[in-house]
Structure formats: C-alpha cells, structure tokens
Amino acid sequence: MNIFYRPLYQSPATEFLTELKTKHPELEAGQRQGRSLLWDKPVNREAWRDYRAAQVTQKPYVYLTESKE
C-alpha cells in the first residue's frame, strides 16, 4: 500500500471547486464554450507546411553579423 494514499482526503481547493460545480452546473458548459473560442480551431496543414518551408536557418552566433578578418 502506498504511504501517500489518502482516499478520504480532499484539499480545500478541490472541495471548493466541487461545491461550486454542484451549485452552478452551467459553469462547466461556459468553460467548454470559452475553450472552443480560444483553443479548438481547425488546423490548416498546408499553411503550416508553407510556413515551415519558408523559414530561414539561423546562424550559430546571431550577434556576429560580419567577420573581422
């Protein structure tokens, strides 16, 4: 048995979130809607392919622009 196993313990933060979600069940739907606005976007693979193909490789030491020889 794991010495850190505490099945009946819930942190105060977990208790707060559980209580908040039971009092306001519409909260999770709002979270999902906000996530879809910011994160769940279709990826244009062709545009990414063009972006990667157009990248210029960086020189090893970027602060030295010309040699002093």
* CA 5, 7, 13, 14 torsion-angle sign: positive
Read off the pTM. 0.46
In a domain, 7, yes or no: no
| Domains in the chain, number | 1
In a domain, 3, yes or no: no
In a domain, 69, yes or no: no
Confidence at residue 67, expressed as pLDDT on a 0 to 100 scale: 63
Segment 56-62 shows an average pLDDT of 79
pLDDT tens digits for range 3-28: 777 778 889 999 999 999 999 999 99
Confidence at residue 69, expressed as pLDDT on a 0 to 100 scale: 57
Domain membership of residue 48 as a residue range: 12-54
User: Please, how many CA atoms are within 13 Å of residue 59, restricted to the half-sphere of its CB?
Assistant: 7
Confidence at residue 7, expressed as pLDDT on a 0 to 100 scale: 79
Residues sharing a CB contact under 8 Å with residue 16, sequence separation 6 or more, in sequence order: none
Distance CA 29, CA 3 (A): 37
In a domain, 18, yes or no: yes
In a domain, 41, yes or no: yes
In a domain, 60, yes or no: no
In a domain, 66, yes or no: no
